[in-house]
Amino acid sequence: MLHPESLRAVLNQQLPDALQMLERMVGINSFTTNRDGVNRLARFTAECFAPLGFLPQFVPSRFSEYGDHLVLTRRGRTPVNLALISHLDTVFPPEEEARNNFRWSVEGDRIYGPGTNDIKGGTALMWLMLSALRTQAPRLFEAVTWKLIWNSSEECFSPDFGEVCRAQFDANTAAALVFESEGRLGTEHLMVVARKGRATWRVTVNGRGAHAGSNHPEGANAIVQLGRVVDRIAALTDYRRDLTVTVGRIAGGTVLNRVPHEAVAEGELRAFTPQVFEQAKAALLALSGPGDVRAVADRFPCAVRVEILSESRPWPRNPGSDGLFQFWQSAGAELDYPINEQERGGLSDGNLIWDAVPTLDGLGPWGDHSHCSERSADGSKLPEYVEVSSFVPKAAVNVVAIAKLLAKAGVTM
Ligand SMILES: [Zn+2]
């Protein structure tokens, strides 16, 4: 049995070490394309977990501009294993951190700094949780094979990380637990059980250039055509089906005395279910073909071409994630920490792995303003921070929930 009081006491005792670790992690710039920084953070992370008995493996990314993925393993007595997932990279280039003086800074219950919330705070909480498990439930800790896996390039949706994870999973993998920050709604703490998929797209319109003064009827205006097409694209958004289609960027034309011959727009779409996702993609692609803007002189049509540029598939509601969520909800009820489920619009590594093993996300601490490095004098703009007081209660819930899920898998204390 885990006693909540002694569990919290141990976590409180170990919190300063976890925060010291976090401070050093935040001090290492790990912008996705800062390969050296990401690799330095990976080595430091491996050092942090070594005293708990973890052995490192550095797995090169398929993309040469990114650092290595990190896998830390601790073999247990039983074949049952758990995967804990985080990432090394942040969205902040070193120059931006310097320009905005954005670095580790403790203000009351908040710690501001790059990656404090997304996701180095999650990594620190993972360490805190494991070190408490080791002292509070050593038999359980020793029984499980732990696989801790860090994506070097999550912020760029590195697709090869899914394969890195799958290579670690086997029939005895009870769960993949992702340490992105938790959600909040009033007094409720939200765990993530689904995330939208995202596809990016480009529309290129080729018209026919013509002299805007002497030859206007010969022109097929690509910008006018694109205007019509983006209107149709925007209209694909359907909130009732949780589908958003966003036109994000547009360009066209050259000089002003021409009927423009080319125009381009780019954007993205997001949906929770594979079905809605695929339907939206098909509706977009169906806009390809001859357009309805034509030259007056000879009916020459503009040509519309739609391409899908990248795709991260949806993580829909599924029995595996919903089943895991039950353990957290009942642990939360025991610890007086109300937990509810959340379907989130943003992507995480959960999108890559949910169909391989039961996956739950949002195991990290609470914070806010992820991906923002700016602060305005009037306080209307605040940079990313993590809340210190969220670490211990969340780590306690994670420990109790994991004990419940392991008991179900046949591993007891
Ligand atoms: Zn993240």
pLDDT by residue for the chain (413 residues), tens only, comes to 689 999 999 999 999 999 999 999 999 999 999 999 999 999 999 999 999 999 999 999 999 999 999 999 999 999 999 999 999 999 999 999 999 999 999 999 999 999 999 999 999 999 999 999 999 999 999 999 999 999 999 999 888 999 999 999 999 999 999 999 999 999 999 999 999 999 999 999 999 999 999 999 999 999 999 999 999 999 999 999 999 999 999 999 999 999 999 999 999 999 999 999 999 999 999 999 999 999 999 999 999 999 999 999 999 999 999 999 999 999 999 999 999 999 999 999 999 999 999 999 999 999 999 999 999 999 899 999 999 999 999 999 999 999 999 999 998 87
Distance 181 CA to ligand 1 centre (A): 8
CB atoms within 10 A of CB 355: 15
Helices (H), 94-180: 94-99, 120-136, 138-143, 160-168
Ligand 1 centroid to residue 231 C-alpha, Å: 32
Residues pairing with 183 in the sheet? 190
* Ligand 1 centroid, distance to 89 Cα (angstroms): 8
Say how many Å lie between the CA of residue 117 and the centre of ligand 1. 8
Distance 162 CA to ligand 1 centre (A): 15
Q: Which residues contact 382 (CB under 8 A, 6 or more apart)?
A: 112, 368, 369, 372, 375
Which residues pair with residue 125 across a beta bridge?
A: none
The Å distance, Cα 204 to ligand 1 centre, comes to 32
How far apart are the CA of 65 and the centre of ligand 1, in A? 19
